[in-house]
């Protein structure tokens, strides 16, 4: 037999009581996600948009990552790759690749990203010459 909760209704429900009831019933619903959680979520949504070839949506999620972490070299490299490989906007791609190189010089762990950015810049320069 299923237990039924007794619901007490008043003539005028107030907003404060509703929020209080939601907080008690859904305690995890009011936890603010941390920056790492947000970045992971936005990265997942970016990859989904990229798979669906929705490059404008992918850019939105990359920009969201950069709002949380403005020095995220991986997101800047991904933006550059979209401009370069999918949209053919070489000016913006070069700008983003240069930003990746500047950021990765400060961060010693980003050698691989810097190498990728440099090789892609070389590829663009050969393409345009």
**Tokens 């979209």 map to which residue?**
82
Which pLDDT tens digit goes with each residue over 63-103?
999 999 999 999 999 999 999 999 999 999 999 999 999 99
Distance in angstroms between the alpha carbons of the first and the last residue of the chain: 78
Considering the domain 33-128, what is its CATH architecture? Answer: Alpha Horseshoe (1.25)
Say how far apart CA 96 and CA 88 lie, in whole Å.
13
pLDDT tier, 9 (very low <50, low <70, confident <90, very high otherwise): low
**From CA 13, how far away is CA 24, in angstroms rounded?**
16
Residue range 51-66, pLDDT digits in tens: 999 999 999 999 999 9
User: Could you write out the three-class secondary structure of 8-52?
Assistant: CCCCCCCHHHHHHHHHHHCHHHHCCCCHHHHHHHHHHHHHHHHHC
Residue 103: exposed, middle, or buried by beta-carbon count in 10 A (0-12, 13-18, 19+)? Answer: buried
The Cα 19–Cα 56 span in angstroms is: 36
The C-alpha atoms of residue 33 and residue 21 are separated, in whole angstroms, by 21
């Amino acid at each position: 037999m299923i237990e039924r909760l007794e619901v007490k209704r008043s003539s005028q429900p107030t907003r404060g009581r509703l929020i209080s009831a939601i907080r008690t019933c859904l305690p995890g619903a009011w936890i603010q996600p941390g920056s790492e959680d947000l970045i992971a979520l936005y990265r997942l949504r970016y990859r989904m948009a990229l798979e669906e070839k929705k490059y404008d949506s992918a850019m939105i999620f990359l920009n969201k990552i950069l709002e949380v972490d403005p020095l995220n070299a991986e997101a800047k490299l991904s933006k550059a790759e979209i401009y370069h490989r999918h949209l053919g906007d070489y000016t913006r791609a070069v700008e983003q690749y240069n930003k990746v190189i500047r950021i990765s010089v400060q961060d010693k762990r980003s050698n691989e990203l810097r190498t990728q950015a440099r090789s892609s810049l070389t590829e663009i320069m050969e393409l345009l010459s």
